[in-house]
Amino acid sequence: PTIYAITPTYSRPVQKAELTRLANTFRQVAQLHWILVEDAAARSELVSRFLARAGLPSTHLHVPTPRRYKRPGLPRATEQRNAGLAWLRQRHQHQRAQPGVLFFADDDNTYSLELFQEMRTTRKVSVWPVGLVGGRRYERPLVENGKVVGWYTGWRADRPFAIDMAGFAVSLQVILSNPKAVFKRHGSQPGMQESDFLKQITTVEELEPKANNCTKVLVWHTRTEKVNLANEPKYHLDTVKIEV
């Protein structure tokens, strides 16, 4: 099956560095289609040029987050992930679904190549541990007799699916047979996006544990430090224009 990776991304000083790191990983994965969704009113020159040279099958989308939703404490990238879902559904509406697996790949996380081998065998919805998240070294689904029976987490253990966006994959078939499943703004509390989405397409009992019964960390919720631009000149001083 093809792996579809939906990546929301937005303009900031580290954007090209993040995308470079991500592309260097994805380029080593067979049959991966990258759906890059810019949080912007238009596709940017920087991302367009970058993708053209990335050497990966890709689709370049954009949708701006409404200003009222750009606030600390509110979920990020809701509209961008939904745009990726809409594109996938549109592309597959006429033919019987080709085998495919979808996952949500934020642009700042760290992905091992083994992770892609694991998720490729997803039948409906698969799950695995995520490192460096939830105020712990890792969070993970607790597995008994091959079934998920609970969650090891330090944060909001009341979540129906106590899992980060980086901790699951969904088969294309499930996405197509649940055409209304989307990420929601209304009534979605912080940290509940994953649960609110997964509730629409699966149950805890149905989840397929990967990564040796969820005992191996193959993805890390890394976050990039804010860059220090204290010495950036107020006006363009360099003799040429440099894209960073």
Site residues, ligand UGA (CB under 6 A):
7-10, 39, 65, 70, 75-77, 80, 106-108, 164-165, 193, 221, 223
* Chain residues 94-153 in contact with Mn ion, contact rule CB under 5 A: 106, 108
Cβ-Cβ contacts under 8 Å for 211 (sequence gap 6 or more): 114, 115, 118, 128, 129, 217, 218
Tokens of 122: 């997803």
CA distance 102 to 122: 9
Q: Which is nearer to Mn ion, 79 or 106 (CB)?
A: 106
Q: Which is nearer to ligand UGA, 76 or 89 (CB)?
A: 76
10 near Mn ion, rule: CB under 5 A? no
CA distance 155 to 149: 17
Which listed option, ligand UGA, Mn ion, none, makes contact with residue 80 (CB within 5 to 8 Å by class)? Answer: ligand UGA
Which listed option, ligand UGA, Mn ion, none, makes contact with residue 107 (CB within 5 to 8 Å by class)? Answer: ligand UGA
CB of 130 to ligand UGA, least distance (A): 8
Q: Which is nearer to Mn ion, 59 or 108 (CB)?
A: 108
CA distance 100 to 105: 15
194 near Mn ion, rule: CB under 5 A? no
Cβ-Cβ contacts under 8 Å for 94 (sequence gap 6 or more): none
Q: Which is nearer to ligand UGA, 148 or 165 (CB)?
A: 165
CB of 37 to ligand UGA, least distance (A): 7
Q: Strand pairing of 58-62 and 125-127?
A: unpaired
Nearest to 80 by CA among 101, 98, 65: 65
Amino acid occupying residue 189: Q
Tokens of 211: 């990564």
Check if 243 is active-site.
Answer: no
CB of 223 to Mn ion, least distance (A): 5
Would you please indicate which residues are annotated as catalytic (active-site) residues?
A: 194
